[in-house]
Amino acid sequence: MKIEHFEDIIAWQKAKNVTIEIYRKFKNNRDYSFKDQIQRASVSIMNNIAEGFERGSDADFKRFLFIAKGSCGEVRSMLFLAKEFNYITNTEFDRLYKESLEISKTISGFIKALS
């Protein structure tokens, strides 16, 4: 199956959902630098998938997928802090961590398929 639009990419769809959830969770958080960092990292996942796909070459797409994967790791790292600072519950941490790890694994599979 050939993917014609970045919106059809499962990793992009999941990243969008995580981004929306992160924006909602941290909407009223007054730790503005923390909030900005985790929000920007989550947006970076979906935007790098989209930008890489739109560039039209496998090499560019692969490069941007690596960047998206790095941002996914950054989100997971920030989630640990969010849990420690009691910005999110353990249940919220578990769900968001699991979802972001799944995105990372999906991106890894995509990278392997492009190699």
* Per-residue model confidence as pLDDT tens for the chain (115 residues): 688 899 999 999 999 999 999 999 999 999 999 999 999 999 999 999 999 999 988 899 999 999 999 999 999 999 999 999 999 999 999 999 999 999 999 999 989 988 8
| Domain range enclosing 37 | 8-20+30-114
Q: What is the CATH number of the domain that holds 51?
A: 1.20.1440.60
- How many domains does the chain contain in total? 1
Q: How is 26-90 classified by DSSP, letter by letter?
A: TTT-S-HHHHHHHHHHHHHHHHHHHHHHHT--HHHHHHHHHHHHHHHHHHHHHHHHHHHTTSS-H
37 in a structural domain = yes
79 in a structural domain = yes
1 in a structural domain = no
58 in a structural domain = yes
Task: Match 């640990």 to its residue by tokens.
Answer: 80
Question: Would you state the pLDDT for residue 3?
Answer: 85
Report yes or no: 10 and 68 within 8 Å, Cβ to Cβ. no
